[in-house]
Amino acid sequence: MRSVVDLPISLDRAGLAAWCRQWQVRELAVFGSVLRPDFGPASDLDFLVTFSPTAAWSLIDHERMRQELVDLLGRDVDLVSREGLERSANWIRRQMILESARPLDVQG
């Protein structure tokens, strides 16, 4: 994955760093419309999240994570787990996301 150089919006990097620590996130990446010219005020943010090997979150936890990002960033959020994506039978979606995802530098 190549690193994000410039995004069309500003993100609360300190807030994202705290969120990553809280949820044991090893890497947080963006993909989708935020990386394309069609990104606009109504666009959501798509995140690919790689968790620590010791993290074991439930479906309810994943929804809580997503809602915390919505509250932090003020936009709708799609949250995709890298582990789940890599197990997906939809190889086209998997390939498109993995090839386009750009990691965020959210070290706090």
Mean pLDDT of 94-102: 97
β-strand pairing of 102-103 with 25-31: antiparallel
Strands (E) across 23-98 are located at 25-31, 45-51, 77-81
Strands (E) across 1-108 are located at 25-31, 45-51, 77-81, 102-103
* pLDDT at position 3: 60
Does the reported pTM lie above 0.75? Answer: yes
Measured from the Cβ of residue 30, the count of other Cβ atoms closer than 10 Å reads 19
Q: Cα separation of 65 and 70, whole Å?
A: 9
Class of domain 13-103: alpha beta
DSSP code per residue over 11-26: --HHHHHHHHHHTTEE
Domain limits of the chain?
13-103
Q: Which two tokens stand for residue 14?
A: 């300190």
For residue range 18-69, what is the model confidence (pLDDT) as tens digits?
999 999 999 999 999 999 999 999 999 999 999 999 999 999 999 999 999 9
